Structure 1
Amino acid sequence: MSAAPCVAQERTVKSEKHPFNLETVAEGLRNPWAMEKLLDGRFLVTERAGRLRVIQDGKLQSAPVANVPNVFARNQGGLMDVRLHPDYASNGWIYLSYSKPLPGGALTSIIRARLKENALADIETIFEPPAEEATNSSIHFGNRIQFDGKGYMFFSIGERGEMQNAQRLENVKGKVHRLHDDGRVPADNPFAKQAGARASIWSYGNRNVQGLRIQPGTGVLWATEHGPRGGDELNVIRRGANYGWPVITYGIDYGGSKISDISAKAGMEQPVVQWTPSPAVCGMDFYSGDKFRAWKGNLFVTALALQKLIRVTLSDGKVTGQENMLEKSGRIRDVRCFDDGFVYVIYDEPGKIVRLAPAG
C-alpha cells in the first residue's frame, strides 16, 4: 500500500509564477544530504554521519536502516547520495555513495543494495578506486549520482582540495565519471583506451560537482559546481570535455589571492552561467510535474551559503531567467521533484525536509 506523507503547513509563500504552501515533511534529521521516494510512498534520506533514515506516513522512523557501510564522517565527508535504479520496480537496486575510511584517509565508494525489512541486503560494490587514491583531506567529495535510463550511471568526485587533481587524467578526482549500472566501464568512454588515464572518466577539470541531473526530453547532463570564493557554475557536461579548473576560474582563493589570471582558454568549457558571489550551489533537479504548470521544464538549484532555492528558466541550453526563493530560510542541501508533482527541499541546517505545495 502507498504511504502518503503526513505534512504540517508552515506558511504560504509568494513567488513570481505560483504562490505555494511550505509544508514540513520531516524534522529532527542531522545534516541530511539526499533523499529518494520508494514505490510505496516512503522516503529514504541519507544523513552525512552515516545513517540511512526512513520517513513513513510523515514520521521519521527511529531506527536507521541496518548494514550501511562505515563512513569517513569528517567535515564534508560521510554518507551522501541515494538513488534508485531506473528499473527499481523490477530489480530493487538502491545506490549509495559515501566516503570510505581507509588507513590513508578516505575515498569515494559507490555500492548498490536491496532494502529488506529495515536492512540493506545483497550489497555490491559498484565503484571504488585503488586504495592509493585515498587522502586525508575531508573536503570536496562530490558524490552525486545520476542515471540516464540507457543503462549508464554518471557520478561526480571532487578534487579533494588538491586543485591540480582536476587536470590529471591518471586519478579519479575532479571529474564526472560514467559506468554501466553494474560497475563495468563502457568501451566508448572518452579515455577508455588512453594509456594511464582512468577509464571511467567522462569529463574533467571539475572542482566539486554536487548537482547532477539529466534534463527531461533532451538527455542532456547538467551539473552544478562549487567554485572557490566566487565562480560557482552551472554546466552542461559533455563527453571528454575539460571544464578548466584550476586553469580558468571566475573565483579567487578564500584568502583573497588569485588562483588564475584567466577565466577563459581555448579547449576549456565555459559555464552556462557563473555566480559571484558564490551561493555555494549544491543539489539540483528539473521540474516536470503538473501541480505547478508555469514551472514545467524549469531547473531548481539549492544554495547553502546564501540560503536559498534558485528557480532557473532555460531555453536552447541557455539561462533566460532566475528567481530567488526561500531566501535566508536555512542552508538548503538538495531539491527533488518526484512524480507526485511536489517540490521537496532538504535543509542541512536545521535538518528537515519541506515540500512546496500549491496554495489555494
Structure 2
Amino acid sequence: MTGRGSGGGALRIRALRREFGSFAALEGLDLDVPAGEFVALLGPSGCGKSTALNLLAGLLEPTTGTVSLDGRRIDRLPPEKRGIGMVFQNYALFPHLTVADNVAFGLRMRGCPKPERAERVRRSLDLVRLRAQADRYPRQLSGGQQQRVAIARAVVVEPRLVLMDEPLSNLDASLRLDLRTEIRALHQQLGLTTIYVTHDQAEALSLADRLVVLRDGTVQQVGTPAEVYERPANAFVAGFVGYRNSVPGELAAGVFDAGPLVLRVGGTGSTPPDGGRVVAMIRPEDLLITREPATGAGNEVPVDVRVCEYQGRSFAVEGTGPGGRVLHGRSDQPVRPGERAVAVVAPDRIRVFAAPEEGARAGGAALLAGREPS
C-alpha cells in the first residue's frame, strides 16, 4: 500500500451548491484539504454533510461550484474516474463474493493483473487484520468485520481520496469504539486524504484533524477538534459539541441576567457580545452539584434534584434551578431526587453567544435535549 502523502490527494472545493427544486441542501461550500488530512463533516441529519460527500463521489451533480483533486477538476468526471475510495454506512458488500473477491472487485474493474491483484488484496486484508477470513462470505462475518472489509476494498485501489459516510453508525457501542481506533491508526499509517461524515461529535473529535460543522446546508465553523470543542463559533455549534445547559437572558457589564437566575461571566472561557439578547451555555461537566455551598468557587445556584444517574466515576444530575430552568451537572457523590442542592460554575466556564434566530433555537433545543431536529 502507498505510504503517507505518496499518492497526492489535495482537495479544493469552491462554491459547491446542490439544490433539489427550490430547496438548497448545500449552500456554497468552500474548503481546502491538504493531502493526507482527515476532515470530518459534522452535523445533525439534514444538515448537508451526506449531500457534500455524494457530490465529491460523483453520485450527485452540483448545481454550481467546482471540485478539484491535485489541481485537476473532477466534478465533471464519472465516479469511476475520480480516483476516490468510498466506504458506505451499510457496508455495500457483494453477498455472493468472498471477502477476498469483494476487496479485489475494484482492482478487477481497473484491469489489474491477477498476481498484483492477489498481492494487493493480501496486504489490504493484513491492514484490517482479516487475512484469515479471506475465503468467507459476508454473511459469515460480524458487522465490525464487514465494515473492515469495506474499508479494505476502499484502500486497495490506492485512492487519492477516501470518503466515509457514517461507517460506524450500524455497529454497537463497543464495536464503534474499536473500529474508530482502527480507522485512525489506518489513516496514520497510510496518510490518505479522508473526508468522514458523522453526526457523532465524540467520533469526529477523536478521528479528525479538522472539523467542518454544518447546519441547514451552511458551514457554521471550521477548525481543529480542540478549537471547535473549546471555542465554538455560535450557540448551535456549542449545543452540538456538548454545551447542554442553554439559558436565554441579557448581558451587561459581565453579568448575565435571566430573571431569577443571575451569573457572573468572563475570563478566557467566555466571549460575550455587546448587550442585547444572549444565551448562556455551560457544559454539564463544568456545573458541579454539591450538597453544601462552596463559597469562592464561582457562581452558586440552588437546584432541586430531579434525577441522579450513576456513571462510574461520577453522577449525572438533572434538576431545576431558579425560574424553573432545567440544569444538567455532575456530582462526585449521589444526591437524592427531591433534595435541594447547589450548582457551582466558574465564570470562565460559561460561554455567552448572541441569541439564535427562532428557527435555529428550535433546532438547538432539540440538540440540547439529545434529539436531532426533524
TM over 0.5: no
TM range (shorter): under 0.3
Determine which structure has greater relative contact order: mean sequence separation of CA pairs < 8 Å that are 6+ residues apart, divided by chain length: 2
- Structure number with the higher strand fraction is 1
Q: TM-score, normalised by structure 1?
A: 0.24
For the pair shown, the structure with the greater C-alpha radius of gyration is: 2
- Structure number with the higher helix fraction is 2
Q: TM-score, normalised by structure 2?
A: 0.23
